[in-house]
Amino acid sequence: MLDFDRVDQALAWANHTLARASDSEALDAALLLAHVLDTDRARLIAHPEQPLSTAQAAEYRRLIMQRAAGTPVAYLTGQRAFYDRDFWVTPDVLIPRPETEHLIEAALAWARGRSDLRVVDVGTGSGAIAVTLAAHLPTAAVWAVDTSAAALTVARRNAARYGLQKRVTLVPGDLLDPLIQAGQDVDLIAANLPYIPSAELDTLPVAQHEPRQALDGGPDGLDPIRRLLRQTPGVLAPAGLLLLEIGAGQGTQVAALAAGALPGAQIMILHDYAGHERVVRVERDGEPD
């Protein structure tokens, strides 16, 4: 027996059901109902009297119960908005976060007025960074690397979704290894690698749903970034830019590691809207070593 058969009743039931499971229950309820009805949130508000079929009501109930059990909305709808477009997501990839949009903004600000850039997104996951940069830099060649074959399958779908498959080259591999092996250097390295310390990750709800290999940065959270910085001098062109997403409080340590790896580089720590350290920006010296 379902407790609702129209939009306003469905939303009221879902809000109530999610109240203890989510701190964004109204948004979650609306996103999931819009998904089930194949519409948008504005239409739900404009037409609260719209009826649900029995099948739609049953599907909505199923999704809300999964959300109440902790499954992220994006894995239920299969999509997440990032920067200026939607990306397919599955439980094989990290759900793109708004914080990562700061990395995109820093990349596009630096790229303005430059053409034919060679760009790599290291740890591409859904492809959110690679696809967004390729879309905004129409003359760029973009490589997207990940150790996860399943993630690369999702990234491939996202590149194709925006007609960018010819300019986004998806490569399986460890960090910059594929580029080093190909003798390919680049002008811009963008990386949102795992940066959560292993022990801390065990205590976080995010670890229950999103892939551990997207989150676990080793004992102090910096293993992948440390290794990437060791590889960077061999791949980043003179005057090139490296952008590293980091966790709050990691800025000083990562900036020091970057200074050691790229002497003479200009290094800045950028903050997100919450005031947390979020991106380390490293502009390489123009002179080759």
Query: Which positions lie near ligand SAM, rule CB under 6 A?
Result: 93-94, 96, 100, 122-126, 128-129, 145-148, 151, 174-175, 192-194, 213-214, 224
Tokens coding 75: 């894995």
HEC-encoded secondary structure of 40-91:
CHHHHHHCCCCECCHHHHHHHHHHHHHHHCCCCHHHHHCEEEECCEEEECCC
Tokens coding 200: 């801390």
Q: Which is nearer to ligand SAM, 111 or 128 (CB)?
A: 128
End-to-end CA distance of the chain: 72
Q: Which is nearer to ligand SAM, 22 or 158 (CB)?
A: 158
Minimum CB separation of residue 221 from ligand SAM in Å reads 11
**CA–CA gap between residue 125 and residue 146 (Å, rounded):** 7
**CA–CA gap between residue 170 and residue 153 (Å, rounded):** 9
Q: Which is nearer to ligand SAM, 32 or 214 (CB)?
A: 214
**CA–CA gap between residue 204 and residue 199 (Å, rounded):** 10
Q: Which is nearer to ligand SAM, 224 or 240 (CB)?
A: 224
Q: Which is nearer to ligand SAM, 17 or 126 (CB)?
A: 126
Minimum CB separation of residue 122 from ligand SAM in Å reads 6
**CA–CA gap between residue 67 and residue 76 (Å, rounded):** 8
Q: Which is nearer to ligand SAM, 146 or 283 (CB)?
A: 146
Dihedral sign (CA 224, 114, 125, 185): negative
Residue ranges in 87-215 assigned as alpha helix (H): 101-111, 128-136, 149-161, 177-182, 198-201, 206-209
